[in-house]
Amino acid sequence: MKVISVVGARPQFVKLAPIAHAAAAAGVEHEIVHTGQHYDPMLSDVFFDDLGIPAPGVHLGVGSGSHGVQTGAILGALDAVFEEHAPDWVLVYGDTNSTLAAALSAVKLHLPVAHLEAGLRSFNRRMPEEHNRVLTDHAADLLLAPTDVAARHLADEGLAERTVVVGDVMTDVLMQVRDARAGQPVALIDELGLQPGGYSVATIHRAENTDDPERLRMIVESLAAIDHPVVLLAHPRVIARAQQHGIHLDAGSLVSHAPLAYPDLVGAVLSSRGVVTDSGGLQKEAFLLRVPCTTVRTETEWVETVELGWNVLANSGDEIRHAVARPAPEATDATPYGDGRAAERVIEELVRRSR
Ligand code: UD1
């Protein structure tokens, strides 16, 4: 049995790691295609190195562009790759332009497509990620849902028969990296002279938060006014937009820093007092590490983090400041994201259904 994984952006490399390991353990032939959507070493190469992911067999090198140009370039380039490799399954991950392009290319070539992280919904039709995941779910043959809530969304859209709940593969990686990091020094703390437990970690990159200068200014100003250091791990998009709009990312308590490699990020979050983010993955990682999270968005796909009290949505300067200052939530041993063995289940499902 042969599986092709198509990945292109940072969170997909994290999800790919446990899948690559589970495929190798099961003796499944697994080819990795990197679309090149993310090309900066700190957004791409370090994830392959640190998480022990085999080098991609195919690199499309598409780079940046408008949504149409980027999605179209990947779609056009994949036809030849899929025809050459003739996989039993094309596995696509999450909600990026690489996900949608790969699903479309495969479905048009009549190749079976499995969508990992199926069924997540923000119900915000203005988000590019929402278009990508809804369209990918409806194109795919097998929907690998991380949670029961995600499976219910798929059922509501008439997709129950194609759905199986496998758990969340990011939880697989996070648990392994967390255990390996426990007790290790945190380079960021030494580098920036921070106090353990005395700083927050922030990431902001979504189009909804970066493209409108007023919104970006509001977010930056509220983080700068927090009463303890806030380290902004700045994605290229936020740096570019801030420069364009004359917004300073180093102001007041706000300190900008390059993105971190995954084990360093986990270490930095573990020792922090809180996370402020608009990332999907980081909200869930904060919850799994039991660090309070403030999410700068009007909705979240990971509703369990909010229901359990570990995540708060905040959309104005006051809301952000109040959310960051809130007392620590009540302890919980809930495991809505599975047991850390989701990737094994994914590979089992693909093998079982390819016979
Ligand atoms: C993409 C995903 C998003 C995911 C995020 C994780 C889509 C629509 N969005 O957003 O769901 O949460 O990745 O990071 O697929 N850039 C660089 N170097 C790079 C990559 C990008 O400088 O290695 C710059 C480019 O100028 C580009 C901008 O960042 O215009 C945004 O990159 P893009 O791939 O369009 O989307 P992300 O914002 O990274």
Encode pLDDT of 317-352 as tens digits: 999 999 999 998 999 999 999 999 999 999 999 999
SS3 233: strand
Do 287 and 313 fall within a single domain? Answer: yes
Quick check: is 235 in a domain? Answer: yes
Q: What is the pLDDT of residue 182?
A: 85
Same-domain status, 39 and 119: yes
Query: Do both 349 and 230 map to the same domain?
Result: no
* Residue at 330 is within a domain: no
Three-state DSSP state, 237: helix
The gap between the terminal CA atoms of the chain, to the nearest Å, is: 9
129 lines ligand 1 (CB under 6 A): yes
pTM above 0.80, yes or no: yes
- pLDDT tens-place string over residues 262-272: 999 999 999 99
Q: Is 230 exposed, middle or buried (0-12, 13-18, 19+ CB in 10 A)?
A: buried
* Residue listed under structure tokens 């970690």: 201
Amino acid at 214: E
With respect to residue 134, please indicate whether it lies within any of the assigned structural domains: yes
Domain count, the chain: 2
Tell me the per-residue pLDDT of 209-246, one tens digit each, with 9 for 90 and over.
Answer: 999 999 999 999 999 999 999 999 999 999 999 999 99
pLDDT at 287 over 80: yes
Q: Report whether pLDDT(297) > 90.
A: yes
Shared domain check, 158 and 9: yes
Q: What is the distance between the alpha carbons of residues 126 and 117, in angstroms, rounded to a whole number? A: 20
The verdict on 182 and 164 lying in the same domain is no
Asked whether the beta carbons of 153 and 121 are under 8 A apart, the reply is yes
pLDDT band at 47 (very low <50, low <70, confident <90, very high): very high
DSSP β-ladder status, 293-295 and 311-313: parallel
Pair 293, 313: CB distance under 8 Å: no
Q: What is the CA radius of gyration of the chain?
A: 20
* Neighbouring-strand partners of residue 231: 201, 255
Q: What's residue 183's pLDDT?
A: 87
Residue burial 51-73, b: 16+ Cβ < 10 Å; e: rest: bebeebebebebeeeeeeebbbb
315: in domain = yes
163 lies in the same domain as 274: no
* Residue 278 and residue 342 in one domain: no
232 lies in which domain range? 177-325
* Ligand 1 contact via 11 beta carbon (within 6 Å): yes
Question: Do 304 and 209 belong together in one domain?
Answer: yes
Distance CA(209)–CA(241), nearest Å, equals 10
Q: What φ, ψ does residue 43 adopt, rounded to 5°?
A: -100, -10
- Residues 246, 35: Cα–Cα separation, whole Å: 32
Q: Is 304 in the pocket of ligand 1 (CB under 6 A)?
A: no
Q: What angle do CA 7, 140, 73 make, to 5 degrees?
A: 45
Tell how far the Cα of 37 is from the centroid of ligand 1, in angstroms.
Answer: 7
Domain CATH code at residue 35: 3.40.50.2000
Tokens of 224: 């700068």
Residue 64 has, within 13 A of its CA and on its CB side, a CA count of 5
Q: Is 37 in the pocket of ligand 1 (CB under 6 A)?
A: yes
At 213, list the tokens: 């200068």
Rounded distance between C-alpha atoms, residue 304 and residue 147, angstroms: 9
Residue 32: its pLDDT value, please? 98
Written as six digits, the tokens of 206 are 């979504």
* pLDDT confidence band for 355 (50 / 70 / 90): confident
User: What's the whole-number average pLDDT of the chain?
Assistant: 97
Mean pLDDT (whole number) for 67-82: 98
User: Are 103 and 70 within one domain?
Assistant: yes
CA dist 87 and 4 (Å) reads 6
Q: Which residues are catalytic?
A: 205
pLDDT digits over 28-39, tens only?
A: 999 999 999 999
In a domain, 332, yes or no: no
The two structure tokens encoding residue 190: 């030494």
- Alpha carbons 269 and 290: distance in angstroms, whole number: 10
Q: Give nearest CA residue, ligand 1 atom 29.
A: 237
CB 239 less than 6 A from any atom of ligand 1: no
Is there a contact between 117 and 128 (Cβ–Cβ < 8 Å)? Answer: no
Question: Which of 98, 131, 136, 205 best tests ligand 1's pocket when mutated (most atoms within 8 Å of CB)?
Answer: 205
Whether residue 14 is found in the same domain as residue 144: yes
Give domain status of residue 41, yes or no. Answer: yes
Asked, for residue 331, whether it belongs to a domain, the answer is: no
User: In terms of domains, do 346 and 293 share one?
Assistant: no
Mean pLDDT calculated for residue range 161-189 = 95
Q: ipTM of this predicted complex? A: 0.94
> Is 333 a domain residue?
no
Q: Are residues 225 and 302 in the same domain?
A: yes
pLDDT value of position 66: 96
Instruction: Find, among 327, 315, 297, the residue nearest to 126 by Cα.
Output: 297
